[in-house]
Structure 1
Amino acid sequence: MVQDGLLPLYEQVRRKLLSEIDAGRLPEGSFLPPELELCATLGVSRITLRRAVGELCAEGLLIRQQGRGTLVAPRKMQHTISLSGFADVVAGQGHKAGHRVLEREDNAVEPAVASRLGASKLVRFVRLLEVDDRPMTLETLFVDGERFADALDPVEAGQSFFASLRKGYTVEPAGADRLINVGFARASEAEALGVSTTEPVYRIEKLVLDGKGTPLALSQTVTPCHLVTLAVKN
């Protein structure tokens, strides 16, 4: 490694690793070589390497996975907080969206949610939202099973709920109320998303409304922070 006396050694290592990532020689989704191998290749100590790797982890470019190693993080997608559905956002960035249903529960017992939706029959879906066949978001989706009965089977088959609404009903989302929090992945969430329980995640609850302010659906999503950058659209 060529050394620049004006930069601390750990910063030189950080930049070297970053250039390897940018060039695709350390592709996203791959693990870094073992620590001893990297130290020998770069000609630095473990302390220096660990500081450089720690800097890249803090930037969201690397992810430490306990017992497995250090992973090159997938490039972040920009997720705009708008009325667009997941499939629309993903397709707009040139990627393939997938909706994999993990659970479906008819007559779900969630009194508070049923009240917010005005639903006498509440249906709950748990879906893994994927980008290019890789997990992105774990979603719990609640819908009025009587009002939108014709949309239930298409959603279970992997279709977008918004697309199912447009196709089967003269209803269009016109607004939404959102709550956004950041926390850590629970064990079941981490398993579904393929991350650790120390992974920071965005928790977003979205109540979708029609043009008259009537609720259409409620979603609760969990997305690892290293996968997306949230943006707000006026």
Structure 2
Amino acid sequence: MNPQHNGGGGQVVPDVAAGKVVEGPTPKHAQLREILRRLIEGELAPGTAIPSERELAGQYDVSRLTVRSAIGKLVEEGLLTRARGKGTFTAARRMELQLYLMSFTADMRRRGLVPTTEVLATAQEVPPPATASALGLAGGQRAYRLSRLRRADGVPLAVERGWYHPGLLPGLLETDLTQSLYEQIAKQYDIRFDHARQTAWAEAADRETARLLGIRAGDPLLVFRRISTTRGEPAEDITSWYRGDRYQVSMQLDPTLPADNGGMP
């Protein structure tokens, strides 16, 4: 198929759908990147090996430098992943991380995945000042600290490090912490979190978090700090580190001013 002409001034526009890289104003590496993107998003299953640089260069009649540039951009975007000594593979699809008050366990089950939880550490100790303030604790008052690794279908997805109000949730650390914590709290204490305020940011993985999640130190993470309340009383201050290669955030935006007190959608 020949390259197309736009209706404005006759500029040559490559027809990416044709699967060919052509001469024109659009750089060849950009053309090849879009061709590969269509293949990845439309035809190739996650974990599929793509052809080698040499094979792609021959197939699309471009230099290996052009192929390397196109693949590098797709790796940066999270569509491809490199495995040393093995090749380049299509990455696992990112899951939509929508901002609503739901447990990890319930969210994974909703997606048809099997959630599992590994308890990393528990303690009852004095929290940092920011957490003590968030939970309404007096200076020097202890709280429950809980760290857990969350998996779905055996794949590590998130590390959670949370603090819990001992007055509202006495004996929490004695419950089965490998199950949904929200379900345990509802069952043991007849408490359901009815409101939360959540803050999100991006962060590079430190060595310990990277080790737990099976990624490299410095890889991108999505981080969420959530302070949850029940009947107006703060009970949970939890920070979660999600793998940036497995998640993307989805939000619905309306043309209205936010409420004065903020809140979580």
Paired residues of 1:139 and 1:221 also in contact (CA < 8 A) = yes
Larger radius of gyration: 2
Aligned partner of 2:4 in structure 1 is none
Aligned partner of 1:127 in structure 2 is 148
Aligned partner of 1:59 in structure 2 is 77
> Structure 1 CA distance, aligned partners of 2:219 and 2:80?
12
Structure 1: gaps (5+ residues): none
- Return closer, same or farther for 1:183/1:40 CA change in 2, 3 Å cut-off: same
Q: CA deviation at 1:68?
A: 7.3
SS at match of 1:82: coil
1:96 aligns with 2:117: no
Aligned partner of 1:198 in structure 2 is 218
Which protein, 1 or 2, shows the higher relative CO under an 8 Å CA cutoff with sep ≥ 6? 1
Which residue type is aligned with residue 194 of structure 2? A
> Structure 2 CA distance, aligned partners of 1:144 and 1:66?
46
Q: Which stretch of the first structure deviates more once superposed, 50-59 or 133-142?
A: 50-59
1:110 aligns with 2:127: yes
With the length of structure 2 as denominator, give the TM-score of the two structures. Answer: 0.73
> Structure 2 CA distance, aligned partners of 1:203 and 1:67?
31
SS at match of 1:107: strand
Paired residues of 1:65 and 1:196 also in contact (CA < 8 A) = no
- Return closer, same or farther for 1:111/1:60 CA change in 2, 3 Å cut-off: closer
With the length of structure 1 as denominator, give the TM-score of the two structures. Answer: 0.82
Q: Which stretch of the first structure deviates more once superposed, 107-116 or 171-180?
A: 107-116
- Give identity over the alignment, percent: 25
Paired residues of 1:82 and 1:232 also in contact (CA < 8 A) = no
SS at match of 1:130: strand
Q: CA deviation at 1:221?
A: 1.0
1:75 aligns with 2:93: yes
Q: CA deviation at 1:187?
A: 1.1
State which of 218, 223, 227 in structure 2 corresponds to 1:207: 227
Q: Which stretch of the first structure deviates more once superposed, 181-190 or 34-43?
A: 34-43
- Return closer, same or farther for 1:200/1:207 CA change in 2, 3 Å cut-off: same
SS at match of 1:149: coil
- Return closer, same or farther for 1:65/1:75 CA change in 2, 3 Å cut-off: same
Equivalences for 1:41-52 in 2 at 5 Å? 44-52=62-70
State which of 158, 168, 172 in structure 2 corresponds to 1:137: 158
Q: CA deviation at 1:41?
A: 6.0
Aligned partner of 1:21 in structure 2 is 40
What is the total number of aligned residue pairs between the two structures?
230
Aligned partner of 2:197 in structure 1 is 177
Cα RMSD after superposing both structures = 2.9
